Amino acid sequence: MKGLLTFQQVEDLDAESRYLVHKAKEAAQHAYAPYSKFYVGTAILLEDDILVIGNNQENVAYPLSMCAERVALYTAASSHPDKKLKKMAVVAHKKNQKELTPITPCGGCRQVMLEYETAQKKPIQIVMLTEGSGWIILPSVSFLLPYSFNQENLI
């Protein structure tokens, strides 16, 4: 994909992306995941270098759970409503494992991420570890959801 950046190791990422990955890993350690035992963390960098983190929050009634990406996005929007989102990192690990597990945002999170990107009229870069590709930096959420449902569909 044009514009997609790939890296073999986290150390190969730029300093800003490494920082976000580090903060996302810290956030994942505080996830509430007693059912899936799958700990996800997200770190978002807003304009003016404001950091916002989130982690997954599970509930025995699964539909009431919340993904790390949406926790962070909603926190950023409610705490810093006038700031644009620049970049976000998403990481995960399984219980009692320090090594990160490849992960990409779920479909619901992709839709929410695209909504924020569209509203701010500026791309949000996404940093994540994928199966086989190593670390990637996507230049825009639209790479995750190329055939999206958006406001134009409602007209």
| Residues belonging to the active site | 69
| Residues 52 and 65 sit within 8 Å (Cβ to Cβ) | no
Cα 115 to the chain's mean position, in Å? 14
Distance from C-alpha of 123 to C-alpha of 154, rounded to nearest angstrom: 22
Distance from C-alpha of 144 to C-alpha of 83, rounded to nearest angstrom: 22
Cα 21 to the chain's mean position, in Å? 10
Sign of the torsion angle spanned by Cα atoms 121, 107, 40, 64: positive
Helix (H) or strand (E) holding 55: strand 51-55
| Structural Rg of the chain based on CA atoms | 15
